[in-house]
Amino acid sequence: MTSDLSVLQIRRRFLVLHGLRWLPVGLMIPVTILLMQERGLTLTQIGLAVGAQGVVVLALELPTGGFADALGSRPVLVVANVVGLVSLALLVVADSFALLAAVWALQGVFRALDSGPLESWYVNSTLAADPDAAYEKGLGQGGAVLGLSMAAGALLSGGLVALGPVGPVSALTTPIVIAVLLQAVALVALLALLVEQRPAAGAGALRSSVRAAPRMVGEAFGLLRRSRVLLALVAVELFWGFGMMTFEGLLPVRLAEVVGDPDRAAALLGPANTVAWLASAGGAALTPLLIRRLGAAPGAALLRIVQGVTVVGMALLAGPVGVLIAFIACYAVHGASNPLHMGLLHRQVDGPYRNSVISVNSMVAMPAGALGGAVLGFVGDRAGVGTAMLVGAVVLAVAAPLYLPAWRAARASAGASAGAGRRTEVSGKAPV
């Protein structure tokens, strides 16, 4: 039972499971597109196949969040990991457009189920063990673990490809085989480490949870309507989803423009991405320091502005070294800002609706990212990629004022607590 675990034990289990969740992804990212090309798909077919993931996530994100709130994090994460394992196993042998589209559709189911429950379990379990616990430290460490896992996976993937084919398994397929094994390890670890106090499961409980999921989603939207703070925090994701296309989509084009050779730019991006993920891990590790020095909401607001500045650097610096330094700095800021944002979000959510609200927060970034890709691509075609990146930088930075409601709410809460403490000292009675 989670009540038998200390805050430290809960955090350690969360970090282990979080790292195992992202290590297979780090292995996949460097080789997946090349693997699909090796199996005969055109870039258009690859885009359509990968697009299946986004469609499925958009359709299932909210229902699965409500389902996790109703049934519990553990069963949803178990199903998610099984689906993820099946999708990776299919990727090892998939050699047609239809099979690869099925792989990415299954990955969409995995992502929709996986989005939120582990983090919600960590926060809920931590508060159950100690209602006054500062769980932001664990969220920051989780961001660091994510970055380290992605970097380690990318390095391992590159090493496996460099070793060449292993028997009938091509060099590009080898990292996927290892990712399958690691996904199985993650499933076993999940079964062993993630425990939670929920009502007894069964067919009746399952039917009840399915019926309750839409209500959970509806009440999560009700929280947004009633809370200006929560609504503003979710709105931040709209700006971030739009602006992230600058460093996820436009940077390779910008680097190729600066270097003058797309092949050389691609060669530089491999190690640069590894360093960027390590920088993201370092930024996430600074989360507790930022909270102590600045406070969560002011720190998050400042980082949105700084991230916009780093994108300006990518757009305006002339040489490849300058562009890549700005890119790495952008990821360091991203690693630090995400735990702050998620910590503020969790502070506004009651336990029963935590997964649903996280799903809403996650979901709004997807259409914003699609819009950002279209708009910034259009601007890049008409006015140049540097101009498009400047537009994205402005969008990232103007989200900063949306943290003001959370900052005011934190100050009001601190003032009320201080006032209650003073009254207690004068009267000698505990506050009611």
Here the tokens at position 287 are 């989360």
Q: Among the listed ranges 79-93, 272-286, 309-323, 357-371, which one has the minimum average pLDDT value?
A: 357-371
Q: Residue 212's pLDDT is what?
A: 58
Q: pLDDT digit string (tens) for 199-208?
A: 545 455 556 6
Name the strand (E) or helix (H) holding 71. helix 43-71
Please write the tens of the pLDDT for every residue from 106-125. Answer: 998 998 888 778 988 998 88
Tokens of 79: 């199903």
Summarised one tens digit per residue, pLDDT across range 144-163 is: 898 889 888 888 887 888 78
Summarised one tens digit per residue, pLDDT across range 154-202 is: 888 878 887 878 888 888 899 999 999 999 999 999 999 998 876 545 4
Q: Judge whether 1-219 and 227-413 match in fold.
A: yes
* 3: pLDDT strictly greater than 90: no
pLDDT on residue 69:
66
Which option is the CATH number for 1-219: 1.20.1250.20, 1.20.1440.120, 1.10.3720.10, 3.20.20.140? 1.20.1250.20
- Greater confidence (62 vs 340) lies with 340
CB 368 within 8 A of CB 237: yes
What are the residue ranges spanned by the domains of the chain?
1-219, 227-413
Alpha-carbon span 255 to 381, nearest angstrom: 16
Amino acid at 379: V
Q: Sign (positive/negative) of CA torsion 203, 207, 208, 212?
A: positive
Q: What is the DSSP annotation of 198-244? A: -PPPSHHHHHHHHHHHHHHHHHHHHHHHH-HHHHHHHHHHHHHHHHT
Query: Quick one: pLDDT at residue 135?
Result: 80
Per the prediction, the chain carries an average pLDDT of: 82
CATH topology of domain 227-413: Growth Hormone; Chain: A; (1.20.1250)
Side chain identity, residue 309: V
The first and second tokens of residue 305, run together, are 């502005």
Q: 82 is written with which tokens? A: 């099984």
Q: Encoding tokens for residue 372? A: 């950002």
Cα(109)–Cα(117) distance, integer angstroms: 14
Q: How far apart are CA 73 and CA 194, in angstroms?
A: 9
Q: What is the rounded CA–CA span in Å between residue 155 and residue 153?
A: 5
Contact by Cβ (8 Å): 100, 28:
no
Give the CA distances from residue 205 to residues 69, 125, 267, 313, in Å, rounded to whole numbers and listed in that order: 13, 21, 53, 54
